[in-house]
A and B are shown apart, each in its own frame.
Chain A
Amino acid sequence: MLRSSTPLLVVTLGETLTQRVGIINLGVEGQMLGGACTGFAVAAATGDPLLGFAAGAGAGIVLSTVHAILCLVCGANQIGSGIAVWTLGLGLTSYFGRAFIGGKVTGLGALGGPTVADIPLLGPILNQLTPLAPAALILVAAAGLWLYRTSTGLNWRIVGESFETARAIGLAPLFVQLQGIIVGGLLSGFAGAILSVDYTQTWANDMTKGRGFVAVGLVIVARWNPFFVLPVVLIFGLSEAATLRLQAGGLTLSPYLIGCLPYVVCLLCVVVASMREDRIGGMPAELASVFGRRQRAR
């Protein structure tokens, strides 16, 4: 379960960081697709999954740059721009991805190996995991510590709360927002590559199936806090795994109905989080105008 949740964990972390600087990027869906396709292509061509991850992250950065140019340079609407990036990612990957359909790559090896297989309880778990899952966990913790414990993290949070204040105290808020978008692009592309190179080890058209949008929803549930990203994604993954278990236990349901579950669960989580919005807060103030909760401040 930790393994199947790793791509979602990484992309949700990336979107969290982007939204902390006051930018919402719906293009993560397209960036994940770009990362998945490019990562798969490079991993298949070179035989090296690590190069695949790097290429996937690069593709995510390139696509997120489009979002940055449209939002920051041209002043376009963030939601519209995100949808444009998604459309581009979807179109480009289904165009250039045709060559890779049906191909296979070998991902990273399992963590354990025969030496740990005999350890009770821990052995079987380690043998299912690749080094990516623990790496993602470390990444989440590092991002949380960085955001809340360092001065650059503080700068990011200031930009997300008030663009004007950030400008007044001498930060370069546009540059910080650019960094936020690029980091989100890097992580979403990386997440896409984890999905195609390490998890499914194949490429299929539109293979992310809305994971990027689910991530945008889960960011709200996690209250824009990197530390909460892990439990939220895990609870989400748990509900998915539970249904698969039910299925295996003899409950017969159409795979298409079961396929609805992640979206339904995500939607329900967002509903609960939104209901309690006013009491728990946590939304970066600059986002409020994009979400249409308050009147435009700028």
Chain B
Amino acid sequence: MNGRLAQASIYGIAGTALFLLLASGFLLAIGRPPFVTLVTMAGYAFGDGYSISESLVKATPILLCAFAVILPARLGLISVGGEGQLYLGALAGTAIVVGYPGGPMFALLPAMVALGAGGGAIWGGLAGVLRARFDVNETISTLLLNYIAVLLVNYAVYGAWKDPASLGWPATIQFPPAATVPSLLGTRVHLGFIVALIAAFVLHVVVTYTRWGLELRILAGNRKVGAMVGLRFARNTLIVMALGGALAGFAGICETAAIQGRLQSGLSVGYGLTGFLVAWLSGQHFLRAVPIAILVGGLIAAGDALQLYSKIPSASATVLQGLLFAAALAASGLAARREARRG
């Protein structure tokens, strides 16, 4: 066991080194000193209280979208639908705010959050139904549903929900205070982050120690054996997809209500895709996803800061994410291959 752990950390270190090498190569290619830039980025990500809070703000939707990948992965499904579920959650949650902007907080806030989670659950559940009922590959359906969800939000904010006072900017009305997710200690970090941490813990306990978690493991390992002992793949597919979707939808409505204050086009900067990356880096593990999401959230926050102060476009953060993903896949792939060879 110890040897295996040591081996895993060797590949972890090798993966990190490979990423730093690739990242330096990219920074050199765009004419930036790699070492200085990387240190500056670390400073922008976690250098002071404000940077840390900005990193946590970014980490919140990323972490929730990672859960929307990890939970289906526990059943052996590969969902890339976090982005679409996030958008649909934002859309569904906003509906009640646009409909009853004057509602009292005790009714409006819970209804908004519930609808947001419900919207995400429907979008995730749709891919789940298609997989369970018609054997449609969930990776392809979630990828296509992402594009549809983004267009549906555009349809709403360019159309019926557009605030006439926003002077042509495609966005809904400003959310009233009664529909604002509370923030923590006067920072921009909001309650969604705490919910995500609790969700990480609860989901980890549930999939590790409960009967249902065992059920998922059996079905993921061998569906035929699962069916023989009376486990239902179809029903569990629907559950994990809908539950994962609910978490991503919750992320969407939190991002809308707490950070941006209104539903607007382009509400997510690829949080769903980044969540997918985090889920894979964590080895589809709920607790390990937390620190990784915070680190990657820091990378994105630093990308924003770089754009502001050093005029490096934030698209460079997307490139760095891609390099990080490639390095991690290379390292973990080689590790698994080595493991298999040892038998």
Contact = CB atoms under 8 A, between A and B. Distances in A.
Interface of A: 26, 66, 69-70, 74-77, 79-81, 83-85, 87-92, 94-95, 98, 209-210, 213-214, 216-217, 220, 254, 256-257, 259-260, 263-264, 266-267, 270-271, 274-275, 277, 291-293, 295
Nearest to A257: B155
A196 to B, nearest CB: 17
Contacts of A274: 130, 134-137
Given A70-B329, A88-B319, A295-B223, 7 more contacts: A26-B139, A70-B330, A75-B333, A81-B326, A91-B319, A263-B148, A291-B137
B330 A74 contact: yes
Nearest to B336: A75
A52 B14 CA distance: 38
Interface residues of B, number: 52
Contact of A256 (B76, B78, B159, B333): B159
B210 interface: no
21 contacts: A70-B326, A74-B330, A74-B337, A76-B332, A83-B80, A83-B273, A87-B273, A91-B321, A210-B143, A213-B144, A220-B137, A256-B151, A257-B155, A259-B154, A260-B148, A260-B151, A263-B144, A263-B145, A263-B147, A277-B135, A295-B223
Contacts of B151: 256-257, 259-260, 263
- Residue among B140, B151, B277 with most chain A CB within 10 A: B140
Contacts of B159: 254, 256
- Residue among B134, B152, B158, B321 with most chain A CB within 10 A: B134
A260 B152 contact: yes
Contacts of B155: 254, 256-257
A91 B316 contact: yes
Contacts of B136: 267, 270-271, 274
Contacts of A263: 144-145, 147-148, 151
Interface of A is mostly: helix
Nearest to B220: A292
- Residue among A69, A90, A209 with most chain B CB within 10 A: A90
A9 B136 CA distance: 22
A119 to B, nearest CB: 40
A62 to B, nearest CB: 13
Contact of A267 (B135, B145, B318): B145
A267 to B, nearest CB: 5
Contacts of A270: 136-137, 140-141
